[in-house]
């Protein structure tokens, strides 16, 4: 029998109680990893961890608000003490608040940037410190979006933050290289998760079109086949990136979007 690809690697996945992060956690456990379901929602994180491994040996729930410096530092320290370090960070927690720029609330702008960018920075810093000290390398994967490359109306802070992650990733790739730490961004197209389901009626209202039209004329209009990207498409990409063996693949962003955006 061959050894599973991620055997005993410790993966911290933020926002893993739902959607994309949850699917990545499931696939990582199936490939031998020990996963930390780090999420704002402890009830959902605990249910996910229990579902993945009732014994607690391969899945642990961690309540963590990625925008809270003290919570991130304490959370990653707890992972180090319970699981013996961190090999993979998936910075994935995210929300969406849509609206036109001319009336966009400053408080919503700050909230969006705090979760997507401050959260990525704080979790990166905490994990990098550990990865450098452990001297066994590591991998950081940021959940970007096609909006790391493209813009859409009503999504100014999301587009700004997702573009920002590409810059952060490139610096991590440069600074981390001598410690064997790689960093990459996954840029999915639209995936049917609670984050997207919430946007459909909101966009219909803001654009004055039906919900079906939001799907066909806004979300999937530029794909090659009119299909949503799936959580599994994204998880398989996260598995490939985490298991890649060298610095040849670092500082990159990989678009998984049914051809919506082509580099």
Which residues participate in catalysis according to the annotation?
Answer: 158
Q: How far is the CB of 59 from ligand NAD (least distance, A)?
A: 15
Q: Which helix (H) or strand (E) holds 52?
A: helix 42-52
Binding residues among 172-191 for ligand NAD as defined by CB under 6 A: 188, 190-191
Give the pairing of strands 10-14 and 88-91. Answer: parallel
Binding residues among 9-48 for ligand NAD as defined by CB under 6 A: 14-15, 17-21, 39-41
Name which of 44 and 206 has its Cβ closer to ligand NAD: 44
Q: Does 157 bind ligand NAD (CB under 6 A)?
A: no
Q: Does 92 bind ligand NAD (CB under 6 A)?
A: yes
Cα separation values, 225 from 56, 179, 190, Å: 41, 41, 13
Binding residues among 106-145 for ligand NAD as defined by CB under 6 A: 115, 143, 145
The closest of 74, 171, 80 to 134, measured between CA atoms, is 80
What is the sign of the dihedral through the CA atoms of 165, 170, 172 and 173?
positive
Radius of gyration of the chain (CA): 18
Q: Does 195 bind ligand NAD (CB under 6 A)?
A: yes
Q: Does 66 bind ligand NAD (CB under 6 A)?
A: yes
Q: How far is the CB of 245 from ligand NAD (least distance, A)?
A: 26
Instruction: Give one DSSP letter per residue of 108-154, joined into a string.
Output: HHHHHHIIIIIHHHHHHHHHHHHHHHHTS-EEEEEE--GGGT---TT
Name which of 65 and 87 has its Cβ closer to ligand NAD: 65
Q: How far is the CB of 146 from ligand NAD (least distance, A)?
A: 7
Q: How far is the CB of 165 from ligand NAD (least distance, A)?
A: 9
């969406």: which residue's tokens? 96
Name which of 87 and 233 has its Cβ closer to ligand NAD: 233
Q: Which two tokens stand for residue 230?
A: 């799936």
Which residues bind to ligand NAD, rule: CB under 6 A? 14-15, 17-21, 39-41, 64-67, 92-95, 115, 143, 145, 188, 190-191, 193-196
């Amino acid at each position: 029998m061959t050894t599973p690809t991620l055997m005993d690697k410790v993966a911290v996945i933020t926002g893993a109680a739902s959607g994309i992060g949850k699917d990545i956690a499931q696939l990582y456990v199936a490939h031998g990893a020990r996963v930390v379901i780090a999420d704002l929602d402890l009830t959902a994180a605990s249910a996910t961890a229990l579902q993945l491994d009732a014994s607690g040996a391969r899945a642990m729930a961690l309540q963590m608000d990625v925008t809270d410096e003290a919570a991130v530092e304490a959370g990653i320290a707890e992972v180090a003490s319970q699981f013996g370090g961190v090999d993979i960070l998936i910075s994935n927690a995210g929300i969406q608040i849509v609206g036109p720029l001319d009336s966009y609330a400053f408080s919503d702008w700050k909230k969006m940037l705090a979760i997507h960018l401050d959260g990525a920075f704080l979790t990166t810093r905490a994990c990098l410190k550990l990865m450098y000290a452990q001297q066994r390398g590591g991998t950081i994967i940021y959940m970007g979006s096609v909006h790391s490359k493209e813009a859409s109306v009503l999504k100014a802070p999301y587009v700004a933050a997702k573009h920002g992650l590409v810059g952060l990733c490139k610096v991590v790739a440069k600074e981390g290289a001598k410690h064997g730490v790689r960093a990459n961004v996954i840029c999915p197209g639209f995936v049917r998760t609670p984050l997207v389901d919430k946007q459909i009626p909101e966009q219909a209202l803001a654009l004055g079109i039906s919900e079906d039209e939001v799907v066909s004329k806004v979300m999937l209009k530029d794909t090659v086949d009119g299909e949503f990207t799936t959580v599994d498409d994204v998880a398989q990409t996260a598995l490939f990136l985490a298991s890649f063996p060298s610095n040849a693949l670092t500082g990159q962003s990989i678009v998984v979007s049914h051809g919506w955006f082509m580099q």
